[in-house]
Structure 1
Amino acid sequence: MTEYIVRFLVGGAVVSAFAMLGDLLRPKSFAGLFAAAPSVALATLGIAVYQHGPGYATLQTHAMIAGAIALAAYSVVVCHVLVRARMRALLATVLSLAIWLIVAFGLLTFAGGQA
């Protein structure tokens, strides 16, 4: 229970800091980019280092990086499918999930991760 309280407090503080940073940048669309994902990742990694040590946090960091790269690949594929194939959004996103899975697990496998 204490872990969740700490995660909530640290995550909230870091979300606020990143939101302020995003508010200072132009265009304003960057505010959402900086508000959520980096702050939650930092809070989670801080707790992982504290509870399990740096080795465990390193594995988690590799998984987060693989997920971020896979998300970028997924996003590019969805955009191209929506524009070029004129597919409906739901169908394009569901079909493109295969790209995310292949890239994420492929990166973890080739990088010697836990996949």
Structure 2
Amino acid sequence: MTEYLVRFVAGGLIVSVFAILGDMLRPKSFAGLLGAVPSVALATLAIAVVQHGPQYAAAQSWTMIYGAVALACYSVVVCHLLMRFRFGALPATILAFAAWLVVAFGLLAGLGGAA
């Protein structure tokens, strides 16, 4: 129960800081970008360091990086399928999700991580 309380407080504080930072920047579209993923990742890594040590948190950070690379590949694939090949939204997202899985697990298997 204490872990959930710490996650709630740490996540809330970090989300608030990133939301304030995003609100101060221009264009305002940065507010949504800075409000979610970086703050949750930092809160998760901070808790991982406290509970499991820096090696565990380092492995977790690498898996987050792999996920980010896979998401970038997903985004490129879905954009090409929608705009260039005129796929519908559902088939494009299903195919792009398959690409995400291949990239994410390929990076994890090839470069290692904490899975």
Show structure 2 runs of 5+ residues with no match: none
Identity %: 68
Residue 62, structure 1, aligned to residue 53, structure 2? no
TM (normalized to structure 1)?
0.94
CA-CA distance at 1:14 after TM superposition: 0.5
Structure-to-structure mapping, 1:1-115, within 5 angstroms: 1-115=1-115
Show structure 1 runs of 5+ residues with no match: none
CA-CA distance at 1:114 after TM superposition: 4.0
How many residue pairs match? The answer is: 115
Separation in 1 of the partners of 2:10 and 2:83? 40
Separation in 2 of the partners of 1:103 and 1:110? 10
CA-CA distance at 1:91 after TM superposition: 1.7
TM (normalized to structure 2)?
0.94
Separation in 1 of the partners of 2:38 and 2:110? 25
Separation in 1 of the partners of 2:15 and 2:55? 25
Separation in 1 of the partners of 2:112 and 2:94? 28
- What is the root-mean-square deviation of aligned Cα atoms in Å? 1.1
